[in-house]
Structure 1
Amino acid sequence: MTGWSIADADESDVCALARIIGDWVHETDWMPVLHTPEDDEVFVAALPGTHKVRVARRGADRLGFLARRSGHVQALHVAAGSRGLGIGKALLHEVIEVEPTVELWTFQANLRALTFYRREGFQEAERTDGSGTDEGLPDVRLIWRHKT
């Protein structure tokens, strides 16, 4: 890895990880802003109680994170200045290496994420009209399976 490492999240990561989420929402023109920075912090702080959370770090900087429960990825976010460095791939491959099936949801409008997941071998399993999401945006469920 080029100057960064991945480790379990701890309490000191909460603000930085929440900021990564909030920054992504604010830089994404199709994404409605529904949560305050404090809401994002509450969300991130609760994740380790129910999910395994792994953080990519370079020194004191948090570059990205992945939260999962078994083979279900709840969140994968990489900071804007750290995208394209292989961080998302490294975080995702930690899950792929240990789970026979990995699934996740992303928004249909998130073309960058869709391209990334398809490149990593995920297949589309389901699309929705967004009526079941807080944001009201159409989403897509993607699944990766070990080849037998």
Structure 2
Amino acid sequence: MRNSPACPARCRDADLADMAVCAGILSSWIDATPWMPRVHSTGEVERYYRETVFAERSVVVAEREVEIAGFLTFSDDHLVTALYVDERHRGTGVGAALLGVAKKRSGTELRLWTFEHNTRAQRFYVREGFVPAGRTAGENEEGLPDILYLWRAELPRGREAFHA
């Protein structure tokens, strides 16, 4: 069964050969999401991923059944800039596996934005330990309201957080 979690995702660092598949997963999500405007053509998305995302950020892909099932990108300042799962693999643990890699690599905290209309993503992020930390009325290129989510690693017992 394709959407069975019995076939776990295997995460690895992406390479440039994965770029077109990652850009395609994002473009497919945009095309399948009624409230999401298409701001850039598929070709522009691919060029942006090739020239900017893969050059400046960490990109991790999750593979299931010998295909890329999803991807996550994040910056050195612990900002997850993209997390998309191919619709055939949603609900199988791919997103959680990708976030697990980002959490482990960050060690302390992660931030990410999701659109206010994306209630499925919001429920997922809350399940993964994120909390809402801010909102905008649409200060993004899509012009859509969005929500900032924050995840912080729990401190080992006996240590307290220092907040200046």
Q: Give TM-score scaled by structure 1 length.
A: 0.93
Matches within 5 A, 1:1-148: 2=7, 4-45=9-50, 46-58=52-64, 60-70=66-76, 71-99=78-106, 100-130=108-138, 132-148=139-155
Q: In 2, Cα distance between the equivalents of 1:25 and 1:42? A: 16
Shift of 1:58: 3.4
Residue ranges of structure 2 left out of the alignment (5+ in a row): 1-5, 156-164
Q: Among the aligned pairs, what percent are the same residue? A: 37
CA 1:98/1:17 → structure 2, altered by over 3 Å: closer, same or farther? closer
The answer to which of 7-16 and 57-66 deviates more is: 57-66
Q: How many residues align?
A: 147
Deviations 1:51-87 (A, max 9, x none): 1100112365211000011311010000010101100
Greater Cα shift, 49-58 or 21-30 = 49-58
What is the distance in 1 between the residues matched to 2:121 and 2:9? 22
Q: Which runs of 4+ in 1 moved over 6 A?
A: none
Q: Please, what is the CA RMSD of the aligned residues?
A: 1.4
**Distance (Å, rounded) in 2 between the aligned partners of 1:111 and 1:69:** 24
2:124 alignment partner AA: F
Which runs of 5 or more residues in structure 1 are unaligned? none
> Based on CA coordinates, which of the two structures has the bigger radius of gyration?
2
